[in-house]
Structure 1
Amino acid sequence: MQSAVLGAFDHYAYAVVAVVGTFLAVWACDWLLRRSRWAAWCVSWQGVVPPFINILGMMFGLTLAFLANDTWSAHDRAINAVYREADALRTLAALSTPLPEPQRLQLRQAMADYGQTSADEWSWLAQRTQHPDMQRRADALMIRVAAKDVREALGDTVQKLMLDKVSEMRRERDLRVSLSQTHVNPLKWLGMAFLGLLTLLSVAVVHVDKPRAALMSIMLFACGAAPTAAIVLIQGNPFLAPTAVTPEPILSVLPALRPAP
Structure 2
Amino acid sequence: MKFEAARRRKFAAGDQYTSRRGNTEMSDWLHNLSVLWMALTIFAFTYLLAILVFAGVTILSTKGRTASFKSVSPGMLPVLGIIFGLFVAFTAAQVWSDSDRASAAVSREASSLRAVILLAGGLPPEQETRLRSLVREYVEQTVTVEWPMMARNAASLRVEPPALAEVLQLVVSVSAQGAGQQTAQREIIAALQSALDARRQRIIVSRSEVNPVKWLCLYLQAICELLVIALVHCDNRLGSAIAMGLFATGAATSVLLIVTHDRPFTGQISIGPAPLLQIIPEKTAN
- Residues 1-261 of structure 1: pairs in structure 2 closer than 5 A: 1-7=19-25, 9-12=28-31, 19-34=43-58, 36-44=59-67, 45-120=69-144, 121-130=146-155, 135-150=161-176, 154-256=180-282, 258-259=283-284
- How far off its partner does 1:68 sit? 1.5
- 1:126-183 CA-to-partner distances (Å, cap 9, x unmatched) read 1122389862222112212222325767444432221111111111111111111124
Secondary structure at 2:103's aligned position in 1?
helix
Counterpart contact for 1:126–1:240, Cα < 8 Å: yes
CA contact (8 A) 1:125 1:177 kept: yes
**Residues 82, 172 of structure 1: 8 Å contact kept:** yes
Q: Deviations over 1:63-111 (max 9, x none)?
A: 1121112112212211111111111111111111122211111121122
Across the two proteins, how many residue pairs are aligned to each other? 259
Q: Quickly say closer, same or farther: Cα 1:167–1:13, change in 2 above 3 A.
A: closer
Taking structure 1 as reference, are residues 13 and 225 closer, same or farther at Cα in structure 2, changes over 3 Å only?
farther
Q: Is the 8 A contact 1:11 1:184 kept in 2?
A: no
Aligned-residue offset at 1:33: 3.4
Q: In 2, distance between residues paired with 1:126 and 1:248?
A: 15
- Stretches of structure 1 lacking an aligned partner (at least 5 in a row): none
Give how far 1:50 is off.
Answer: 3.5
* Shift in Å, 1:24: 2.7
- Secondary structure in 2 matching 1:27: helix
Question: Closer, same or farther in 2 for the Cα pair 1:150/1:225, shift >3 Å?
Answer: farther
Asked if the contact 1:208/1:214 (under 8 Å) is kept, the reply is yes
Give the letter aligned to residue 140 of structure 2. Answer: Q
Cα separation, partners in 2 of 1:192 and 1:162, compared to 1, 3 Å:
same
Worse-matched range after superposition: 51-60 or 139-148: 139-148
Q: Deviations over 1:211-236 (max 9, x none)?
A: 21011101111011023213312432
| Superposition RMSD in Å | 2.7
- Give unmatched runs, 5+ long, in structure 2: 1-18
